[in-house]
Structure 1
Amino acid sequence: MTSRTPAADGRSTPPASSQGLRADARRNRTRILEAAEAVFAERGASGSTEEVARRAGVAVGTVFRHFPTKEALLRALVGDLVTRLEREITALVAGGEAATGLFAFFTSMVEQAAAKRTVVDLLAASGIDLPVAKPVHALRQPITELLTRAQQAGGVRDEVRVPEVLALLTACCQAALHDGWDDELQARTLAVVFAGLRP
């Protein structure tokens, strides 16, 4: 895995991570990101840094020390998502169920994309577009490994290739991200996609 995460505008930037921070600062950063995710999901553009600080149980100044602007906080939420997806797919490659690991990761990515609609909309309002293809293609190698394992286990048709999987994943994530798919639409759409991948 790379040690750099794609920025929301597609450029490669150092990850907004907790590395190098004291333990209490790491805990504060984690609480701030968790609170920000909840606040922006509930309140959209009206979500404030003050509300994030209140929910995180920290002073507003602490939020600004970690994230000087709301845009920096939104970018960090996207970067944090990419990091979580990297960890998830690494765990699936290392020990997930061979026949179903690819489907589990596909489902998780679509769920996360649908959940991040508000954050992406707020970034777009600041003139920053989030290119879904970049994080998907950044995970090409582990996705390839999941596909190979699934095919060897008989979970995916032998003729399916990586480009098709990446295209389907990108398209589904893009649609879920921009249209805010609910749980039912996610389930129905993924059922159709997975039926096409299975033998």
Structure 2
Amino acid sequence: MSRYKTAVVWAALLAAIIVPMALSALSPQLAWRGPAYIVAGFAGVLGLALLLLQPLLAGRFLPGLSPLRTRYFHRIVGSLLVFAVVVHVGGLWVTTAPDVIDALLFRSPTPFSVWGVVAMWAVFAAALLAATRKRIRLRWSTWRLSHAGLALVTVVGTVVHAMLIEGTMELISKTVLCGLVLIATGVLLFSLWKKGTRKIV
């Protein structure tokens, strides 16, 4: 890929991540919120943005990165994603602990809470699976299928969670970002499926 096309791809990716975060920072709803809620909200937006990077890195779709660097950044982004989820939930706990408890116990009346909690546990499970890959000694194909399945649950849960919330994120940029996350994940899973069928055949 030429340097011009590489620059265009990276510029588009940065725009898809930065624009929703910038518009969230300009939301009038922030004027009525405390620091813990604001930090929790931005951690959620960051987590959604990181979900766009993960399938692109896993599928080696980003130009200009060697396979070694791609794997390295995939692990780093995965760690940041877990951290963002912890900060998101922790900030909400500080703000409204009873609501967080209801969500974790799946008794919250708000549908978006259920999707968020499911996505949270899927993120933690995927991270744990990645961290213990060598110790549990699963076959590579089994491990990859399990990790990809958890990633899919994370993505679907997070996207539905984000779209159901009427919060600080601007609707159009949020919808575009969620759509890109779904497309990137779908392309990755399709490419993995094609590789798997080739090996079977």
Give the TM-score normalised by structure 1.
Answer: 0.35
Answer 1 or 2: which has greater helix percent.
2
Give the TM-score normalised by structure 2.
Answer: 0.35
